[in-house]
Amino acid sequence: MDYISGDVIAKGVNLHFYRTGGGKPPMVLLHGVTDDGLCWTPIADVLAAKYDVIMVDLRGHGKSEAPDDGYTLTVMAGEVAALIKELKLEKPIIIGHSMGAITAITLAGLFPDVARAIVLEDPPPFWMVKKTDKGESPTPNPLALWIESNKRKTKEDLFGEVHAGNPGWAEAEMEPWVNSKLRYSPKIVKMVSMDDLPSMDFETLVKSISCPALMLTADTVKGAIVGEKDAAVLKQGVTQLEVVHIDGAGHNIRRDQFEKYMEVVQAFLTKIA
């Protein structure tokens, strides 16, 4: 389908977005690190029947601006909240994957009146990081190395990688994934360190989340990153959180098990309508 394409200035940063339009209830989709807005295309094509779907290129991704610094959860959540305000979206549903999911959690905690509901696809369990706990990341960080290495790959290299690593993905997922790797700025490697994590009080933040919430988890043996203990701890703070496990999927739940993902998400959306 054809999308409306546009830009807004959100807290001084130009953010690009794609939108299905139509005067329907708004829904904002937040991608994971190295993806971008158009990676949501298969989901948007389904949900556009009932929602005005806005697919955002987060800072440093897609066609959005790539500032030199500020690649933190609090900054990104503030920018998404500003985009929602600039577009005059009334209580949008926010769906996020990975980095986009933890950004949605942060936004819902910092700005509890903004979202109608949040849907979280395998977010990194940063709520398990204790305040002031600096932690020690592997050096060199494998994710950082992969982010940097993609900028040396051709489109053909990337297609070979995604086909070999994810043979079960639909073809509609492949090209947006590849194109997103060609578009992001190398500056997004700064997201790996998440410099604001040691100062964030997630225990307090998640207790401020008042909207309906759904988290989808998957098989850690297949690469999913939220385990049962992580989910249980988050649910202690977000008591209204629904947790649904989808078998046969890894970190990219919607790409690995599209039909089951849509079934669970649409059931949740019907419930909160």
pLDDT tens sequence across 188-221? 999 988 878 888 999 999 999 999 999 999 999 9
Across 88-116, average pLDDT:
98
Task: Place 131 in a pLDDT band, splitting at 50, 70 and 90.
Answer: low
Question: What pLDDT is recorded for position 134?
Answer: 53
Torsions phi, psi of 121, nearest 5?
Answer: -100, 105
Torsions phi, psi of 132, nearest 5?
Answer: 75, 0
Please give the span between the terminal C-alpha atoms of the chain, in angstroms, as a whole number: 25
Whole-model pTM? Answer: 0.96
Question: What pLDDT is recorded for position 59?
Answer: 98
Question: What pLDDT is recorded for position 254?
Answer: 98
Residue 9 carries which DSSP code? E
Cα(177)–Cα(18) distance, rounded to whole angstroms? 16
Higher pLDDT, 273 or 272: 272
Nearest alpha-carbon partner for 30 in 125, 103, 123, 96: 96
Name the class of domain 4-272: alpha beta
107 pLDDT higher than 90 = yes
Instruction: Choose the weakest-confidence range: 50-64, 197-211, 241-255.
Output: 197-211
Question: What pLDDT is recorded for position 132?
Answer: 60
Question: What pLDDT is recorded for position 129?
Answer: 84
Q: At what angle do helices 73-86 and 99-110 cross, to 10 degrees?
A: 70
Nearest alpha-carbon partner for 196 in 69, 97, 83, 32: 69
Nearest alpha-carbon partner for 110 in 140, 89, 84, 128: 84
Listed by start position, the domains of the chain span 4-272
**Percent of residues, the chain, with pLDDT higher than 90:** 91
Task: Place 57 in a pLDDT band, splitting at 50, 70 and 90.
Answer: very high
Whether residue 34 contacts residue 184, with contact meaning beta carbons closer than 8 Å, is answered with yes
Question: What pLDDT is recorded for position 139?
Answer: 62
∠ CA 155-47-84, rounded to 5°: 85
Q: What is the mean pLDDT of the chain?
A: 95
Whether residue 1 contacts residue 45, with contact meaning beta carbons closer than 8 Å, is answered with yes
159 pLDDT higher than 70 = yes
137 pLDDT higher than 70 = no
Can you name the residues that pair with 56 across neighbouring β-strands?
Answer: 17, 30
138 pLDDT higher than 90 = no
Cα(47)–Cα(45) distance, rounded to whole angstroms? 6
Whether residue 77 contacts residue 115, with contact meaning beta carbons closer than 8 Å, is answered with no
Question: What pLDDT is recorded for position 141?
Answer: 86
